[in-house]
Each structure stands twice: as C-alpha cells, then as structure tokens.
Amino acid sequence: MSELREQRRERLVDVYREASVCTKCPLSETRTNVVFGSGDADAELMFVGEAPGAEEDRQGLPFVGRAGALLTELLEGIGMTRKEVWITNVLRCRPPGNRDPQPIEIESCQPYTYSQVELIEPRVVATLGNFATKLLTGSRVGITRVRGTPQVREIGGRTVFLMPLLHPAAALRTPSLVDTLREDFAKLPELIARPLPEGGAGAPAVVELAGAEARADQLDLFGG
C-alpha cells in the first residue's frame, strides 16, 4: 500500500473511532450501534443512503435489510459487488421508528460523510433518495426531478460525479420503480470511467451533465 493510501486509511480509522462514540445528536441515546459505513475504503463508487433501519442498527452495517438486498441485486446487475464499493448514509444512527432525519441530526452527522469522501476518494458519489441528494447537492430540488442525471460537485474538498438515484426502499414500495433504478444504475460504469474535470477555484461548483452533448460542453468548460 502506498504511503499516502496508508495515511488515508489511518485517518479513516480515526474518523471511525470518533464516530463510534459520537454523542453530537440525540440519536446517540437510542441507537444500538453506530453504522459508520462498509466496503472498500479505496472504492471508486460510494453510495450514500438515508439512515440505518432496525436491522442496520442491530448489525452495525449499512443496507443489510430488504432495501439492502435490492441494492446488492442492482449492483450485481452492473457486474459489481458490495465489496467493491463504499456504502454509507446521511445519518449513522437509527432514527427511532425509522422517522425522517431531523435537521440537527443531518448537520451533526455531515462531517463524517464529508470525511469519508475526502479519505476514500471516490470518483462517483451515488445518492440514494431525497435526504442524501439534497444534502450533497446542497439544493432543495427533489430526487424525482434530478434522478439519473449526473452532476459535477465538490464534496469533502474533492471534485466528484454525483449521481442522484431513487432510494431502493421507494422501489420496494412501488415495484415499477425497480426498472427506473436499473436504468440509472446502468449509467454508473461509464460514469466511473469518465475523466473527472479539474477542480479548483476557477471551476463552477455545479454542472449538470445530460448525455453526450452536455459532456462535450463540460469538457469545453474545463478546457479538457
């Protein structure tokens, strides 16, 4: 392992240690386990979901319930496994009764998300559902309007492709959405392989990419 990679790994372990005893929000009083994230700490693709549910809280691992089974299946559909990606959530502790994340909880937990992006250095961050999408796009535009179209964003000091995706739990409730999710997942391999624009002060914080035409614009924009 290169020295830099080793340093990033050590820093990620430090963040894990800090998160595992976190008391920054009231969810620390009701959780069983902190669900930090799991997978490859050098993954090119990171998923950010909403919050742990009952099974995740019990096991201390993200997406191990029914929505997780669908996530695994969708990944396998594009020839990938969970071991190759990093999976985390907007919140690392379960909201009681699986209620929606509250602003104080999202705010308290977001440094852990940004640190993970900084230290894992993914090329693509796929947001699952409204909460992750709104947090990481910094926009109030909902998931149904933005899903399936990659954006260029700066997260945790890094320029990444952000791909908004429906939450797998939504597809469990409305099975016709599974096809939409499959369609959007199918765009991920190409996105992972696509050159990232240079970041830096001159680069715009947000660029939406809607297919080949936008891609050409994007390359022009960054002088690529």
Return the bridge partners of 124, or none: 45, 161
DSSP-based helix, strand, coil % in the chain, nearest 5: 50, 15, 40
State the nearest-atom distance from the C-beta of 64 to ligand URA, in Å: 7
- Nearest residue to ligand URA on Cβ basis: 49
Q: How far apart are CA 76 and CA 79, in angstroms?
A: 5
Binding residue for ligand URA, selected from 37, 39, 62, 164, defined by CB under 6 A? 62
Q: Is 164 in the site for ligand URA (CB under 6 A)?
A: no
What is the size of the binding site for ligand URA (CB under 6 A)?
13
Q: How far apart are CA 134 and CA 148, in angstroms?
A: 15
Stretch that binds ligand URA, among 17-25, 49-57, 76-84, 172-180 (CB under 6 A): 49-57
**Is 65 or 197 the residue whose CB approaches ligand URA more closely?**
65
Q: How many CB atoms lie within 10 A of CB 143?
A: 21
Nearest by Cα to 207 from 150, 125, 124, 129: 150
Within residues 85-144, the interface with ligand URA by CB under 6 A covers: 89
Which positions touch ligand URA (CB under 6 A)? Answer: 49-53, 56, 62-63, 65, 67-68, 89, 169
